[in-house]
Amino acid sequence: MSSPATHHHAAPREGPVLIHAGLVAIASAWLFGGMGPNGEWIIAALASPAFWFLFAEARTRVRAGDREGVYRLLRWSAPLATLALLVVVSALNPSHRAAFIYDDLVLRPVPHIAWLPSSANPLGGLRVLACLGGLAATGLAIAFCVHSRQALRNLVLVLALNAVALSVLGTLQRQTGATGPYFGAVTAANEAWFATFHYYNHWGAFAVLHAAAALGLVFRTLRHPPARGWSFGPGPLLVIAALLIAATTPLSGSRSATAL
Q: Is residue 109 part of a domain?
A: no
CA–CA gap between residue 176 and residue 163 (Å, rounded): 20
Average pLDDT over residues 33-57: 90
CA–CA gap between residue 84 and residue 126 (Å, rounded): 9
Residues paired with 109 in a beta bridge: 96
152/252 same-domain check = yes
Backbone angles phi, psi at 197, to 5 degrees: -100, 135
13/33 same-domain check = yes
203/231 same-domain check = yes
132/17 same-domain check = yes
- In sequence order, the 6+-apart residues with CB closer than 8 A to the CB of 250 are 258
**Structural domain harbouring 2:** 1-94+121-147
CA–CA gap between residue 70 and residue 129 (Å, rounded): 24
Regarding pTM above 0.75, the answer is yes
Q: Is residue 113 part of a domain?
A: no
170/89 same-domain check = no
- In sequence order, the 6+-apart residues with CB closer than 8 A to the CB of 179 are 188
CA–CA gap between residue 145 and residue 85 (Å, rounded): 25
pLDDT band at 139 (very low <50, low <70, confident <90, very high): very high
For residues 27 and 46, the answer to whether their CB atoms sit within 8 Å is yes
Average pLDDT over residues 70-87: 96
Residues paired with 103 in a beta bridge: none
**Residue 8 pLDDT:** 43
161/196 same-domain check = yes
> pLDDT of 52-76, one tens digit each?
999 999 999 999 999 999 999 999 9
Coil, strand or helix at 96: strand
22/133 same-domain check = yes
Q: Is residue 209 part of a domain?
A: yes
13/135 same-domain check = yes
Q: Determine which helix (DSSP H) or strand (DSSP E) holds 99, and give its type and residue range.
A: strand 96-101
User: What letter would DSSP give residue 3?
Assistant: -
For residues 69 and 60, the answer to whether their CB atoms sit within 8 Å is no
CA–CA gap between residue 215 and residue 237 (Å, rounded): 11
Average pLDDT over residues 222-240: 90
Number of neighbouring beta carbons within 10 Å of residue 240: 12
pLDDT band at 226 (very low <50, low <70, confident <90, very high): confident
Residues paired with 255 in a beta bridge: none
- Nearest partner of 51 among 138, 122, 132, 181, judged by Cα: 138
258/153 same-domain check = yes
Average pLDDT value over all residues in the chain? 90
Q: Is residue 225 part of a domain?
A: yes
171/257 same-domain check = yes
For residues 54 and 73, the answer to whether their CB atoms sit within 8 Å is yes
Q: Is residue 223 part of a domain?
A: yes
* Number of structural domains in the chain: 2
The widest CA-to-CA distance across the chain, in whole angstroms, is 74
Average pLDDT over residues 160-180: 94
Q: Is residue 108 part of a domain?
A: no
